[in-house]
Structures are given as structure tokens and as C-alpha cells.
């Protein structure tokens, strides 16, 4: 039950992008086309749902017993980078179609702060293994939802007249602000703890 | 000659090549920590420290890093400095450390640092790299501080936790919540781009 609450909370009330501002860089630069943002969104869901529990295992079973908690930043980023690299190689070898769809986005993901952020939140909020899986999955879906919605809005705005200084990042931030306000409507439904 | 070049390296990230409003890098922390001036100051100190020293370190090692694994090496160096920031903060300011939460660790993935290392430190001598990193940190600092002052003043009527506006002021609580951050940054980017464009069309 708790896991499902966390799952939905991390999609809506505690959306990792709109309430914690994580993964903004790729959110601002890749949200021009609906198709590419769908691809990137799917890659983020997959990587986040797998690396968060993976990092949990490394943290609980290796770092804590040896008293090396302070090394978690380095270790987490290595785990994420290694996992992304492995996935890329596996996709390239076994699934041509999936590699075409997701492969180009995978290298971008290592530097996506939302992935590392999910792992760091998992440590701070002291989740269990299963909860961290649902949290990672939910956060990934929430991020994907936000970027796909943004890409849809930006495509509609393509022909609109915009003040030249506001074009690009400025307008994207304004839209993100409205989206964050819309998502605030969910707050109070479920708490993310 | 060398001195004027150093000066240029120092001044560029402050204006024409500002990491936040021109290159749009490091937005995550720009928005996340700017709801209070105090948090912002600590965060910017951490980022400036990390940017300057990792640029310097990478520049020292630039001829010895195999280019295929350079990203990994850079990340390691940055992470090492971030761990120092984290430990110092945890030891001396545990309250602040708690408030900043995961954002201290997220300095690692702050694109400003990686960007400066990749674009500058890999091809330049240690001293200019140090200056460039430090100036980028300063460029980041003053943009963040101006956002934080606006947000805290409008959102809680105070600056640095000291109440400035009297009791007649109704707090715009939206300002300290996520949407406020997006809007203030958008306005700043808009104003600055508009002025830069005007200057360019005059010139």
C-alpha cells in the first residue's frame, strides 16, 4: 500500500522535475519535438527505475557495512554511468530497433541530474528496497510526463508570435511555471515522504 | 599581454558568456535553492569552490588523461571536491546541510562545472583555468543571488531571514514555491536577452 502511495506521489504531488527542478538541462533543450522527448522520457523511466534500487543495494550492502557513506556521490555516479554504458551495449547487440529509438538518448542520461537526484532522495528519505524501486519508477514516469507535455505545448506554439527575447528557454520556463502550478493542484492528495 | 588575456578570461563569464542566462546551464540548482538567500549563498560558495578547483586540477592533468575516458576522470575529480564540500557543510553547518538536502550532491551533475572543464580547462594552462572556473562561479553566484533576493522578499517579506517589509505585506507564497522560481528566472532571461539584442542591433 505504502509503495503505491509513493508511486503516485512521485508522479504527481512530488514531481521530480516540477517540484524539485531536477533534470532541467535536458528538459529545456530536448523538449522541442514530441517524438524525441518521448524517446528520452522512456529512457529516463527505464534508467531511473533500475538505478535507484541498484544504488540502494550498493549503499545498504556495501557502503554502510564498511562505513563509507561519504563516498556515495562517487559510487552512485559510477553505478549510473556503468549501467547506462552496459544498457547501451546490450541494446546495440540484441535489439536494433530499440537501440535506434533509445540508444542515442542513453549517453545524455548519465549527466541528467534527475537520475542522481532520485538516488540521493532515496538515501535521505530512508526508503526500503521495494519502495526505492517504486519511487524510481514513479519519478521517471513523472519526468517523462512533464517533458512530453512540454513538447506538445511547444509544438502548438511554433507559429505563435513571441517577443524575441523570450524565445527558447525563457518561454519554456514560463510554461514550466504554469505546469508546476497545475501540478500543485494535486498537492494534499498524497504526501511524498 | 598575458595580463589582459587573464582579465578577459575573468570578465567574460560575468557578462557576455554568463553560464546561467546566456548558456542556460546549471538551472536545477538555480531554481531549487533560491527560495532563501541564506541557502543560495552557501550553495554558490560550494559551486564556485568546486568549479575553480576542478578546472585547475583537470588542467594540471590535461596532458595525462586518455581522451577516451576523460569524462569519467572529470566526473571523479568533480565528485571528490563535492565530497569535501559535503563533509565540511555536514560538520560545521548541519542545519544548512539538512535544508540543502540532495542539492549539494547534485553539484556533480551541474553542467556549468563539466562545461567549463570540457570547454576551457582541457586546452589551457592551470592558472587561466582557475581564473575561468572562479569567474564562472561568480557569474553563477550573482544571478542566483538576484533571483533569491526577489523570491525571498516577495515570498516571505524578508532577506537573510530578517523581516524587511512590514506587517502590511501579504506574502506571495507562490514565490517560494516551484512556479515562482520558474517565473522569476524566465523574466530575468527575458530582460537580459532583450537588452543584449538591442545592444547588438545598435552596434
Predicted-complex ipTM score: 0.83
Helix (H, G, I), strand (E, B) or coil at B6: helix
- The answer to whether A173 contacts B182, with C-beta atoms less than 8 Å apart, is yes
Which residue do the cell numbers 560550494 mark? B46
Contacts of B186 in chain A (CB under 8 A): 166, 170-171, 173-174, 177
- The answer to whether A163 contacts B27, with C-beta atoms less than 8 Å apart, is no
- Greatest mean pLDDT among A5-14, A143-152, B15-24, B173-182 lies in A143-152
CB count within 10 Å of CB B137 equals: 25
Q: pTM of the full predicted structure? A: 0.86
Minimum distance, in Å, between the CA of residue B178 and any CA atom of chain A: 6
Q: Is B191 on the interface with A (CB under 8 A)?
A: yes
Q: At residue A138, what are phi and psi to the nearest 5 degrees?
A: -65, -45
Contact indicator for B128, B5 with CB cutoff of 8 Å: yes
- The answer to whether B178 contacts A180, with C-beta atoms less than 8 Å apart, is yes
Minimum distance, in Å, between the CA of residue A58 and any CA atom of chain B: 17
Q: Who's near B131: CB < 8 A, 6+ residues apart? A: B6, B9, B10
The model's pLDDT over A150-163, given as tens digits with 9 standing for 90+, comes to 999 998 888 888 88
Q: Cα B155 vs. chain centroid, distance in angstroms?
A: 22
- The answer to whether B174 contacts A181, with C-beta atoms less than 8 Å apart, is yes
- Cα separation values, A26 from A12, A107, B27, B199, Å: 20, 12, 10, 30
The model's pLDDT over B29-59, given as tens digits with 9 standing for 90+, comes to 778 888 888 889 999 999 999 999 999 999 9
Helix (H, G, I), strand (E, B) or coil at B159: strand
Amino acid at each position: 500500500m505504502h509503495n503505491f502511495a509513493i508511486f503516485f506521489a512521485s508522479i504527481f504531488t512530488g514531481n521530480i522535475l516540477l517540484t524539485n527542478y531536477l533534470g532541467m538541462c535536458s528538459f529545456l533543450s530536448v523538449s522541442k519535438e514530441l517524438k524525441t522527448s518521448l524517446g528520452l522520457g522512456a529512457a529516463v523511466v527505464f534508467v531511473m527505475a533500475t538505478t535507484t534500487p541498484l544504488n540502494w543495494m550498493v549503499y545498504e550492502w556495501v557502503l554502510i557495512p564498511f562505513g563509507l557513506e561519504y563516498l556515495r556521490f562517487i559510487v552512485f555516479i559510477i553505478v549510473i554511468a556503468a549501467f547506462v554504458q552496459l544498457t547501451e551495449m546490450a541494446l546495440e547487440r540484441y535489439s536494433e530497433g530499440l537501440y535506434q529509438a533509445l540508444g542515442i538518448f542513453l549517453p545524455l542520461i548519465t549527466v541528467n541530474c534527475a537520475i542522481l537526484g532520485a538516488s540521493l532522495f532515496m538515501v535521505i528519505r530512508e526508503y526500503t528496497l521495494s519502495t526505492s524501486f517504486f519511487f524510481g519508477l514513479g519519478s521517471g514516469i513523472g519526468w517523462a510526463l512533464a517533458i512530453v507535455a512540454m513538447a506538445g505545448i511547444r509544438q502548438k506554439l511554433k507559429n505563435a508570435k513571441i517577443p524575441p527575447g523570450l524565445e527558447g528557454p525563457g518561454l519554456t520556463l514560463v510554461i514550466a511555471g504554469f505546469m508546476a502550478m497545475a501540478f500543485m493542484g494535486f498537492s494534499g492528495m498524497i504526501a511524498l515522504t | 599581454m598575458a595580463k589582459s588575456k587573464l582579465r578577459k578570461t575573468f570578465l567574460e563569464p560575468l557578462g557576455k558568456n554568463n553560464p546561467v542566462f546566456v548558456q542556460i546551464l546549471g538551472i536545477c540548482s538555480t531554481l531549487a535553492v533560491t527560495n532563501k538567500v541564506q541557502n543560495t549563498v552557501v550553495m554558490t560558495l560550494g559551486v564556485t569552490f568546486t568549479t575553480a578547483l576542478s578546472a585547475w586540477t583537470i588542467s594540471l592533468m590535461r596532458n595525462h588523461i586518455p581522451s577516451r575516458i576523460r569524462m569519467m576522470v572529470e566526473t571523479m575529480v568533480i565528485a571528490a571536491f563535492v565530497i569535501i564540500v559535503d563533509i565540511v557543510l555536514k560538520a560545521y553547518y548541519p542545519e544548512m546541510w539538512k535544508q540543502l538536502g540532495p542539492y549539494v550532491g547534485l553539484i556533480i551533475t551541474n553542467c556549468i562545472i563539466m562545461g567549463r572543464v570540457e570547454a576551457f580547462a582541457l586546452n589551457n594552462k592551470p592558472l587561466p583555468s582557475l581564473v575561468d572556473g572562479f569567474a564562472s562561479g561568480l557569474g553563477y553566484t550573482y544571478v542566483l543571488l538576484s533571483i533569491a533576493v526577489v523570491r525571498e522578499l516577495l515570498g516571505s517579506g524578508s532577506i537573510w531571514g530578517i523581516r524587511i517589509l512590514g506587517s502590511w505585506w501579504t506574502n506571495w507564497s507562490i514565490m517560494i514555491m516551484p512556479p515562482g522560481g520558474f517565473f522569476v528566472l524566465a523574466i530575468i532571461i527575458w530582460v537580459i536577452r532583450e537588452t543584449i539584442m538591442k545592444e547588438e542591433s545598435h552596434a
